[in-house]
Amino acid sequence: MVETESLHFQFPESLDAILEDVTVSIRPGRTMLSGASGSGKSTFLALCNRLFPENCDGILQGRLKLFGRLHDDYVPGEINQRVGTVFQDPDTQFVMERVDEELIFTLENLSTPISEIERRVTEILESLQLSAYRTREIDSLSGGEKQRIAVACALVGRPEWLLLDEPLTHLDPVTAYEFVEWLDRVTGLNVIVVEHRPHLWGDYFDWHIELERGRIVRNESFCPVDDFAFIKSNASLKNPYHYTIEEVRRDSFQLKRSELHVRAGEVIAILGPNGSGKSTFLRSLTEHDRRVGLVPQSPEHLFFMNSVESELQFGHEDSIESVLSDMSLLDQRHLHPLSLSHGQKRRLAVAIQSLTNKQLLAFDEPTAGQDEPSLHALELLMKRHAEMGRTILFVTHDLSFARIANTFYLMKDGELSGPFKDELWQDTETLRHYQLQGRRARCHSMT
């Protein structure tokens, strides 16, 4: 479908090329495109469905052929009849309120005759086993359901290829696993998937292309891989203390009151699927106790000043110099906090908390959408603060990353159970009960 020859791509405002000398030919089948953030994989995908270079004034050199035709021979919208795309964020893919309206919107765009529309909607929903969703409001669906609807919308125009841009990022492991199984079952299509956590896909793919800083470093048939390995924190555990998590009731949901006994230097993971009450738990913990500092899933939510310096200096008179150098933010001290990279934002958020002498640092879903280097940076950051005598707590559904913790708690329907130690990983019964593992684990090396 895609053939490139010494493809070179860059944005006009930057000196560095996003893609450099890419010569590749993607054949029919299922291809995974992997690589770290900034490796150019999403850009490559955007060139495949012609979102780029049109929308970004990007500079493209070399040759790019789509379906045997030069890419700039296509008129706007033409390629989208043959290529369907699913994006990462379930919340920003829809225009209409209801599932059927969204499908109709897509069919209208493709100038489908009105007499056919009704039948096409029924057909696609049936073939994807989604008929029950036909009149549901999109906003009432879960992340995993939304991604399935996004696939339906991408396929309703009967494309020849389906492109997916990190579609599992916002899903918990069981939902992600079920999504992959479902996709495997319902589509016989040619697929290109951009992904930085290949293990989630098991043996779904035929071919694997990997990019590193804009160049192809792997182009071979796919073999299932293990996830990145994370090593347990070995900070020494000191004086114990405890927190009380107050009960929270909201609509039909109830977070039960619980006591959390922790020790300085301990790394704690709270595990549970989406919607199990992990975020409510964190909220209750952070709201009622001044000893707790929070790093939100989007660290920038903490920021409201105009520079890194004033952000760190907010609310106190202590010196910020040592924290600045400790967090490697010296060069960024005059920058606007919102202009930092994700890793820098996270370090700034942690820096803010360490200046206010928090005993416990709580991270909300810190791994979502992170690539391998970024995950390891996070691992180091957490371990270092544990060694400094803080307690680290994070909620996650990332079972691989959770391995850095000493202690685990499980969350389901607002009820916290634990503590568990490493034996948890052998206890498939419990993991299944807490919807952390599917019926068969895909390529986990559980040691």
Partner 1 sequence: MSLHDMNPTVKFLTLTFVMFGLALFYNPWTQLVIVVGTVLIQWMATNVSWKRWLLFLIPFLITALGTFWTTLVFGKDLGGETLVTILSQEVTIEERDVAIALSLRVLAFTVLSLLFMLTTDSKRFVMSLMQQAKLSPTIAYSALVGFRFIPLLKRELQQLQYAHRLRGVPLDTRWERLRHVPKLLLPLLAGSIRRAERVAFSMEARGFTGGKRTIYDRVEVKSSDFIWSGVFFALFGFAIWAGI
Interface residue list for partner 1 (CB under 8 A): 46, 49, 51, 55, 76-77, 80-81, 83-85, 87, 89, 91-97, 101, 104-114, 117, 139, 153-154, 157, 283, 286-287, 293-294, 296, 298, 300-305, 314-315, 338, 352, 356
Residue from 32, 13, 39 nearest 22 by CA? 39
Q: What is the DSSP letter of 264?
A: T
Most distant pair of Cα atoms in the chain: their distance: 72
Select 158 or 384, whichever has its Cβ closest to partner 1.
Answer: 158
CB of 417 to partner 1, least distance (A): 26
- Enumerate the β-bridge partners of residue 437: none
Kindly state the DSSP code that residue 256 receives in the 8-state scheme: P
Residue 213 and residue 22 in contact, taking contact as beta carbons nearer than 8 Å: no
Nearer residue to partner 1 within complex by CB, 229 or 305: 305
Nearer to partner 1, 120 or 383 (CB): 120
Query: What is d(CA 418, CA 410) in angstroms, rounded to the nearest whole number?
Result: 6
DSSP string, 328-352: T-GGGTTS-GGGS-HHHHHHHHHHH
- Minimum distance from residue 110 beta carbon to partner 1 (Å): 5
Q: How far is the CB of 74 from partner 1 (least distance, A)?
A: 11
Least distance (Å) between residue 292 CB and partner 1: 8
Q: What is the DSSP letter of 296?
A: -
CA dist., res. 336 & res. 380, Å (int): 25
The alpha carbon torsion through 250, 256, 262, 265 (nearest 10 deg) reads: -30
CB neighbour list of residue 91: distance below 8 Å, 6 or more residues apart: 146
Buried b (16+ CB within 10 A) or exposed e, 264-296: bbbbbbbbbbbebbbbbbbbbbbeebeebbbbb
Cβ(269)–Cβ(402) below 8 Å: yes
The backbone torsions φ and ψ at residue 260, rounded to the nearest 5 degrees and listed phi first, read -120, 115
Between 13 and 423, whose beta carbon lies closer to partner 1?
Answer: 13
- Residue with the two structure tokens 């989630």: 200
Question: Tokens 């389906």 belong to which residue?
Answer: 162
Nearer to partner 1, 173 or 296 (CB): 296
143 near 404, Cβ under 8 Å? no
Distance separating alpha carbons of residues 331 and 412, to the nearest angstrom? 43
Answer yes or no: are the C-beta atoms of 200 and 442 closer than 8 Å: yes
Of the pair 95, 388, the CB lying nearest partner 1 is at 95
- Smallest distance from partner 1 to CB 229, Å: 32
Query: CB of residue 364 vs partner 1: minimum separation in angstroms?
Result: 10
CB of 111 to partner 1, least distance (A): 5
If the CB atoms of residues 54 and 427 are measured against partner 1, the closer one turns out to be 54
Select 48 or 176, whichever has its Cβ closest to partner 1.
Answer: 48
Closest distance of CB 170 from partner 1, Å: 13
Given the complex with partner 1, which of 96 and 441 has the nearer CB atom?
96
For residue 64, the minimal CB distance to partner 1 (Å) is 17
